[in-house]
Amino acid sequence: MKKRILTGDRPTGKMHLGHFVGSLKNRVKLQDSLEAGLPKYDQFVMIADVQALTDNFDNPQKVRDNVKEVLLDYLAVGIDPAKTTILVQSMIPEIAELTVFYLDLVTLERVLRNPTVKEEIKQKGYGQSLPAGFAMYPISQAADITVFNASLVPVGEDQLPMIEQTREIVRKFNSLYGEVFVEPEALVGEVKRLPGIDGNSKMGKSLGNAIYLSDTEEELRKKVMGMYTDPKRIHVTDPGKVEGNPVFIYHDVFNPDKTEVADLKRRYIEGNVGDIEVKEKLFVALNELLKPIREKRNEFEGKDEILNQILKEGTARAREVAKETMTKVRNAMKIDYFK
């Protein structure tokens, strides 16, 4: 059997540059990788609306609207529904079912120790009103991965604790009920964590610090020109700091002209170049990257019938796989009463 891959995104907004280098590029590569002339992997990409609702339950319209936006972003970067199964999480109730069984295999203490969840709880300022569903989302994510028995999970660095949690659940399940699941492995993208334009260590949809793949040229220019740089540098002649400076981190990641980048860095350190020139060159590099993505997105925009069909077919195919897994789970857990 081909190795299965599961990855996904929360429909909480449009997709950004962090997604592109953190996971989308990998997905396109993986969907196209061949072995002996045949596709090497069976890739499932999930639009995780159930997970999005854990912190957006009061705004279901936002989640619904963004399912389509995320799909458009997938198609724009080259994820091909003929090669990759694209599915909507909530339309596969087997995932919810498996989540309930997994809740027994994890302690509350363990879930709340998850560093990413801890950080997000702090960011969202939940205090005493933490929704139980939000705290438990790593368990639901373990069900997302294992219901497809995926062995490879392409993700950004912030998701590594989720994969570790999934591996623990798999070990526990297999030792209690028999070998049903494989332990999945994470595959981190070429950039583990792209910082935001505000200098925050992570660009995030919910953080208001993102450059979206669908931003227009004008929006892109405005965002790049307003980017956080070295706060200590006031005059062009002040020597600047390159390390940890998001403008240069982006240059390193997105500007293919390495000689230009080296020259800008040297002059920045010497106090010999203005922020405007450095940012203008970054804008040009980013615009080159985003132009074809924008155009491809435009091709699909408004074609709701085609978009719905892609989701419907992908979800139906994914559900077949999920059902097969649940038959094995019920059998292993001795709850297969009416065969």
Query: Which residue is listed with tokens 């081909």?
Result: 2
| Rounded least distance, CB 156 to ligand ATP, Å | 2
DSSP 40: S
Looking up tokens 């953080």, which residue turns up? 207
By CB under 6 A, name the binding residues for ligand ATP: 9-10, 12, 18-19, 22-23, 155-156, 158-159, 191, 193-194, 202-207
Closer by beta carbon to ligand ATP, 240 or else 314: 314
Quote the DSSP letter at residue 283: H
Give the type of residue at 68.
K
CB closer to ligand ATP, 143 vs 273: 143
Q: Are residues 325 and 147 in contact, defined by beta-carbon separation less than 8 angstroms?
A: yes
In the complex, minimum distance from the CB of residue 304 to ligand ATP, in angstroms, rounded to a whole number: 23
Question: Minimum Å distance from CB 199 to ligand ATP?
Answer: 13
Residue 11, number of CB atoms within 10 A of its CB = 27
Query: Which residue matches tokens 């969202």?
Result: 124
155 or 285: CB nearest ligand ATP: 155
Residue 225 CB, nearest distance to ligand ATP (Å)? 20
AA identity, residue 269? I
Contact indicator for 285, 261 with CB cutoff of 8 Å: no
Select 207 or 333, whichever has its Cβ closest to ligand ATP.
207
Residue 50 vs 329, nearer CB to ligand ATP: 50
Q: How far is the CB of 282 from ligand ATP (least distance, A)?
A: 17
Nearer to ligand ATP, 53 or 170 (CB): 53
Q: How far apart (Å, rounded) are the C-alpha atoms in residues 193 and 188? A: 9
Q: Are 162 and 168 in contact (CB under 8 A)?
A: no
Output the six-digit token pair for 273. Answer: 């170049």
Q: How far is the CB of 231 from ligand ATP (least distance, A)?
A: 21
